[in-house]
C-alpha cells in the first residue's frame, strides 16, 4: 500500500470514528467533538502577547465583543461553515477529506521551509546597501542570526533567493533612457531620479504601460554584488531561486514577477516537498521579503517572519499595499488558504 493510500485509509477511519452509526456526515455536535480530540495539548497557563492564552483566545472568538461567546461567536460553528463546502449543513466525506489535507495535516504534521531572501553583497555593502537607504539599517546583523536558525531547526527545505539581473534590466536607473516612456508617466527619462517611479510603454499589458521604480545598478548576474554575503552559510541540499532575470520586468517576490506574468519554481518545489509553513527572512522587509511573504500567504502557506531576521529599506512605496507582517516577533498568517 502506498503512502497516499495509507493516509486516505486513515482519514476514512477518522471520519467514521466521529460520525454517528446511522449517518454519513458530521453535524455541528460531532464536529465540535472532533475539534476537542484534535487539540489535546491545550495549556491555559501559556500566554500570548502578554495575556493568558484562554483570555486571548476568548477575545479572538468573541466577535461581537460582548464579553460572551455565544452561538454566533462559536469557533466550532465558524470552522464548520468554512469546511462545509456545499453548504448543506453537514460535513460529508469529501468535505472532511479536503479539510484534512488543507487544515488538519498542517496542524498535526507541519513541514517547514525557510526562504532566505536576497542576502547579497550589493544590499549589504554594495551599490544598494541598506545602510545608505532611508532606514539606514545594518544588514550584516541578520547574517549570523539566519545562520543560527538554518542550522538549529529541522527544516524540510532551505531556500536562498537571488536578485539576478541582466545588465540591461528595466529597473536600473542607468538604463532609464533605453526604453520608450509612456505619455502618462509623471517623470520623463531625463528628469527621473533614483527611487522615482516611471512608466514605460508596454503594448502587451492592457493598460499600455509598465510602472517601474528606478534603482541603482545592482545584483548584475555573475558579479560580486550578486553573490551571497561571504559570511552567510549555504546549507547542503538547499535550493536556489533566481529572480529578476527578465530584462523587461522586475521581480520583488521569490514566487512571481511584479505583474505575475511568470513564476519561479519555488511554489512547485515547496508543494512537491509537502511544505505547509514558510518562514521568510532576509533583505529587504518592505520590498522583496514582504512581497515574498504576501505571495506565500496568497498560495495558502502558513507564513511567518521575525524582525531580527530582516532589515528594512525604509521607503514604503515598493511595498505599498503590503501589511507589516514583520514587526519584531513571529506572526502567524492564515493557514487555510488554497494551494
Is 166 within 8 Å of 221 (Cβ atoms)? yes
**14-25 tens-digit pLDDT:** 888 888 777 778
Q: Compute CA distances 288 → 106, 127, 218, 247, 318, whole Å.
A: 26, 17, 14, 17, 9
Where in the chain are the domains? 3-108, 113-169+218-319, 174-214
CATH class of the 113-169+218-319 domain in this structure: alpha beta
* Per-position DSSP letters for 67-116, written without gaps between them: SS--TTT-HHHHHHHHH-TT-SSSB-HHHHHHHIIIIIHHHHS--EEEEE
- Ranking 2-6, 80-84, 162-166 by mean pLDDT, the lowest is 2-6
Q: What is the pLDDT of residues 154-206, one digit of tens each?
A: 999 999 999 999 999 999 999 999 999 999 999 999 999 999 999 999 999 99
CATH class of 3-108: mainly alpha
Which positions are catalytic? Answer: 118, 243, 288
Decide if pLDDT at 45 tops 60: no
> What is the per-residue pLDDT across 100-155, written as a single tens digit (0 to 9) for each?
887 888 878 889 999 999 999 999 999 999 888 887 788 899 999 999 999 999 99
pLDDT of residue 175: 98
Helix (H) or strand (E) holding 242: strand 239-243
Q: What is the C-alpha separation between 328 and 308, in angstroms, rounded?
A: 6
325 contacts: CB under 8 Å, gap ≥ 6: 290, 293, 294, 297, 303, 305, 331, 333
Instruction: Tell me whether residue 187 is exposed, middle or buried, using C-beta atoms within 10 angstroms of its C-beta: 0 to 12, 13 to 18, 19 or more.
Output: middle
- pTM confidence score: 0.73
Amino acid at each position: 500500500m502506498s503512502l497516499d493510500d495509507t493516509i486516505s485509509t486513515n482519514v476514512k477511519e477518522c471520519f467514521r470514528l466521529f460520525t454517528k452509526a446511522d449517518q454519513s456526515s458530521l453535524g455541528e455536535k460531532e464536529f465540535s467533538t472532533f475539534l476537542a480530540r484534535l487539540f489535546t495539548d491545550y495549556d491555559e497557563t501559556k500566554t500570548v502577547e502578554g495575556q493568558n492564552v484562554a483570555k486571548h483566545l476568548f477575545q479572538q472568538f468573541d466577535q461581537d465583543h460582548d464579553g460572551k461567546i455565544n452561538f454566533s461567536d462559536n469557533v466550532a460553528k465558524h470552522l464548520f461553515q468554512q469546511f462545509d463546502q456545499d453548504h448543506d449543513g453537514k460535513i460529508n466525506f469529501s468535505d472532511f477529506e479536503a479539510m484534512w489535507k488543507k487544515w488538519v495535516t498542517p496542524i498535526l504534521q507541519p513541514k517547514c521551509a525557510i526562504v532566505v531572501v536576497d542576502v547579497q553583497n550589493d544590499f549589504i555593502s554594495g551599490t544598494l546597501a541598506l545602510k545608505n537607504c532611508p532606514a539606514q539599517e545594518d544588514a550584516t546583523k541578520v547574517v549570523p542570526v539566519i545562520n543560527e536558525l538554518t542550522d538549529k531547526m529541522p527544516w524540510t527545505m532551505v531556500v536562498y533567493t537571488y536578485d539576478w539581473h541582466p545588465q540591461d534590466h528595466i529597473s536600473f536607473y542607468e538604463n532609464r533612457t533605453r526604453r520608450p516612456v509612456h505619455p502618462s508617466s509623471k517623470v520623463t527619462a531625463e528628469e527621473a531620479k533614483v527611487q522615482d517611479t516611471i512608466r514605460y510603454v508596454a503594448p502587451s499589458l492592457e493598460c499600455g504601460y509598465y510602472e517601474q521604480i528606478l534603482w541603482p545598478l545592482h545584483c548584475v548576474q555573475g558579479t560580486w554584488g550578486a553573490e551571497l554575503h561571504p559570511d552567510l552559510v549555504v546549507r547542503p541540499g538547499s535550493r536556489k531561486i533566481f529572480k529578476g532575470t527578465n530584462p523587461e520586468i522586475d521581480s520583488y517576490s521569490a514566487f512571481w514577477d511584479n505583474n505575475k506574468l511568470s513564476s519561479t519554481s519555488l511554489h512547485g518545489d515547496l508543494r512537491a516537498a509537502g511544505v505547509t509553513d514558510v518562514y521568510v527572512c532576509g533583505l529587504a522587509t518592505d520590498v522583496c521579503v514582504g512581497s515574498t511573504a504576501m505571495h506565500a500567504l496568497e498560495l495558502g502557506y502558513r507564513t511567518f517572519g521575525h524582525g531580527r531576521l530582516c532589515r528594512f529599506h525604509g521607503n514604503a512605496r515598493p511595498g505599498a499595499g503590503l501589511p507589516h507582517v514583520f514587526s519584531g516577533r513571529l506572526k502567524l498568517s492564515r493557514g487555510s488558504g488554497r494551494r
